[in-house]
Structure 1
Amino acid sequence: MPELTDAQLDQLIIALGLTERPRRPGRRPTAPCGTPAAYKRHIRNHEPIDDACRAANAKHSSEYYAAAPKADLPPIAHGTPQGARQHWYRKVPICGPCRDAYNARRNGGVK
């Protein structure tokens, strides 16, 4: 069997999956567990989600939706696709009638 150079051996080890591939230059480091970014990474890579990441994502979501709505905005037009967009813009959970109207429009129903 021919002798492999160090570079060839490194390529073989990476090709066999025996070690992690080196990160491309200029990329950000992987987010540590216990952050919303790590939670998204677990979802994206189909990995099991640990309790720290789940708690961090729940906290982030609750803070996102707890943002105070702007006082000078008109009331939400409930039951319309526009109402669904107003919910999103104001970071308020979407109510059932607005979600139904948005889905109906998206599926070709109401215009």
Structure 2
Amino acid sequence: MKWIGYVILTSFLWGCASSPQTSQELELFFSPEQISLTAEQTRKINFFLDNNPYNQLTVYVGPANLDNKFNALLQSQKRIKAVNKLSQIKDIPMRLEFAPQQAADTLLIQSQ
């Protein structure tokens, strides 16, 4: 009887240890002049936050597709603030990063 218990316990522990960690991500696209979130973007972010409330979330914001690099950076900072407001409302911490090598006018949220 003990042997069956050991087999079940070992199988359970092996299954937990070998199950892959899946990371989810959400990618959003902006128009170059857009600084706030659309209703659809807000809905998608809220849905993502609801499904990943306890995961470590990282937000990567690409630069805006503008000729002036300084204005592109300012646009990206405003987009970061818009996403940060949603995470603060839900009390979910996020690491926010500007990603200059990322495709222009994109925002990527990843859960670890």
How does the TM-score come out when normalised to structure 1?
Answer: 0.26
- Kindly indicate whether structure 1 or structure 2 has the higher relative contact order, using CA contacts under 8 Å at least 6 residues apart: 2
Structure number with higher helix proportion = 1
Greater CA radius of gyration, 1 or 2?
Answer: 1
How does the TM-score come out when normalised to structure 2?
Answer: 0.26
